[in-house]
Structure 1
């Protein structure tokens, strides 16, 4: 951020500039390894990772960050958002366009000035915030430029965290754990999902460790009773009855670095939930044991599926095993723990593994682990046991 904008209150980037320069350099090394001449980064999470700017102005049109070996980074943004980008990013070279119809022509002009007219340029074709019409508008202007899919290039770099990033995730997980403990202690007959969330918000607000207010809660999934059959259901005024299950998934984030977890509970007794959860616990233990440097993503995934297969209930699991976490944990292109995935685990990677199983009558119950890959294996970031809470 330039001195001109340093006087605006509560602006700037969360990490020192050398941290962002290190990240950009690692991406540029990957660009050269992939035999590309440049990369055009458009995914909001990737922009935040490389610049500090959270991408809030880029929610409906692309704000490309153009990285070319040997050149300074260029941020192309909407004119209306230029001040915010300068105030919240570490990028000095900023170009602007005014309207959506101007994007293709302006972006092509910038790429032309970067001497990319006949070069191989990576685009994040599989990520959010880049529409086919955006790519077409550029290609019309630069028909000889070869557009190569580089969806997975930035995630491969961002998967391995620095100590600064890991501290953010540890701080976020501490708040996530507080939310889970509040969820567990709030369960009593007649309480509603909304009331549990209100208690949780009060506990978070009363926590003095978050003095700067830079730790925020992502939209939680908090479901009680029959509503635990709904994946990603919104929080409502539905109340729990005795002998019913409860499900909670939440992730707090610091500077965009989210650390999430899944936990389930039963008010009284619910044999179906208890049986399903016992299996989920076995799966999680197998998954955590399989996480180690050199293991592939599909090998970790297979460790959990083997437990399900031995139980005869493999159809209870209907999603991928897990995925890398960090900024924007739902970004497309990130490492995914699923069959056939060849990504190799490395120390410094962080993974969210939510093992949510579907019971015989459709209740979605489970537990999970947020882990850091270390030289010795997996370090669990949460202090909350992955057992079923009985209220």
Structure 2
């Protein structure tokens, strides 16, 4: 085991140290309210939110950030990734382990150094922490009580600071540019892959990033718009076919996704779906304001579909909390019955993607900021259907 403590270089961090210290203090306050003596942050988005490190190495093994109120945070990482973590994080106390088998004893030893026995919160409902990891740490610390704290950091991260909102507005500018390239590129015979390449090239020239050809993005033409998700392929669009995109610009790890659809010529079925998706989206946006629950937002959209006699077209939630990473398990979800209360400076993405009777998956979305009075749409491109 190797433990290091060194000055953190200023390069590699998208925000000043004071921003991360502010976030950490808010988490400490939440931990005290939850009666937690310690918290192990393992979800990649939460790890990046609090430490600055993007968690690339943690894809393979856990990189827990150990938080104890009033104490300096400790980040447990793979020895292989130690240098990258040191450059990409403001956290000074780094403890390393070499292989998977070393993780639990090294992590447990780092926890023992804080000198307490009590309640430790784990992000059990998030990605990147396997049951085997939990069992191994519990075996090393049998006297500790482990409790689920999956939503603790997510609730803090839901409310954006000024710096975070600046990053998201910058990301949305790149998303809007991607939308315009998507629309202007549509002509008979052009392929999804060609449009994705054009988007990435134009956005890169503008100094931004939109991973249009990645597996996390969707760019689909024709019958492939019947897929709920799909990266760009060498599939060309023909006249009288639909086109669909769900892409997001990225700035400092913050994503601003957007759904936009188009038709080359005419396509009655998807045009009808899109008209209805607009009605649902606008109903959803109209009720967003501080004090409203996530479930009430979801219900407003479903009520539109009920009035049209087509409630089955929407078989997923109407939206979700956004920020670092496109989505993170444990974030606020705008779904039936959700009791999370909206607050100013939350950011939400509402992809109203309807599933038609013959299989087409089509619709539109907006990315909004919850304001003191209601909501602000972050995109500058209309959510209406584009006709080429």
| 1:168 aligned partner | 167
| 1:370 aligned partner | 367
Deviation of 1:328 after TM superposition, in Å, equals 1.3
| TM-score (normalizing by structure 2) | 0.96
Deviation of 1:329 after TM superposition, in Å, equals 2.6
| 1:237 aligned partner | 234
| 1:147 aligned partner | 146
Preserved contact between residue 281 and residue 386 of structure 1 (Cα < 8 Å): yes
Distance, in Å, in 2 between the alignment partners of 1:2 and 1:163 is 30
Preserved contact between residue 284 and residue 304 of structure 1 (Cα < 8 Å): yes
Say if 2:300 is the partner of 1:324: no
Deviation of 1:216 after TM superposition, in Å, equals 4.4
Over 3 Å counting, the alpha-carbon distance change for 1:122 and 1:174 in structure 2 is same
Q: Which runs of 4+ in 1 moved over 2 A?
A: 1-6, 215-220
Distance, in Å, in 1 between the alignment partners of 2:62 and 2:306 is 44
Preserved contact between residue 354 and residue 368 of structure 1 (Cα < 8 Å): yes
Residues 226-265 of structure 1 aligned to structure 2 (within 5 Å): 226-265=223-262
Deviation of 1:96 after TM superposition, in Å, equals 1.1
Preserved contact between residue 203 and residue 210 of structure 2 (Cα < 8 Å): no
| TM-score (normalizing by structure 1) | 0.95
What RMSD in Å do the two structures reach over aligned CA positions? 1.4
| 2:106 aligned partner | 106
Residue segments in structure 1 that go unaligned for 5+ positions in a row: none
Preserved contact between residue 272 and residue 360 of structure 1 (Cα < 8 Å): no
SS in 2 for 1:106: helix
Deviation of 1:11 after TM superposition, in Å, equals 3.3
| 1:13 aligned partner | 13
SS in 2 for 1:19: helix
Deviations 1:81-117 (A, max 9, x none): 111111110001111111110111111111111123x
SS in 2 for 1:39: strand
Residues 2-151 of structure 1 aligned to structure 2 (within 5 Å): 6=9, 11-116=11-116, 118-151=117-150
Deviations 1:331-381 (A, max 9, x none): 110000001110000000000000000122111110001000000111000
Deviations 1:110-138 (A, max 9, x none): 1111123x301100011111111111111
Say if 2:195 is the partner of 1:191: no
Distance, in Å, in 2 between the alignment partners of 1:97 and 1:11 is 25
| 2:157 aligned partner | 158
Residue segments in structure 2 that go unaligned for 5+ positions in a row: none
Deviations 1:136-189 (A, max 9, x none): 111111111000000000000000000100000000000000000111111111
What is the aligned length? Answer: 382
SS in 2 for 1:12: coil
SS in 1 for 2:101: helix
Deviation of 1:4 after TM superposition, in Å, equals 5.7
SS in 2 for 1:249: strand
Say if 2:303 is the partner of 1:309: no
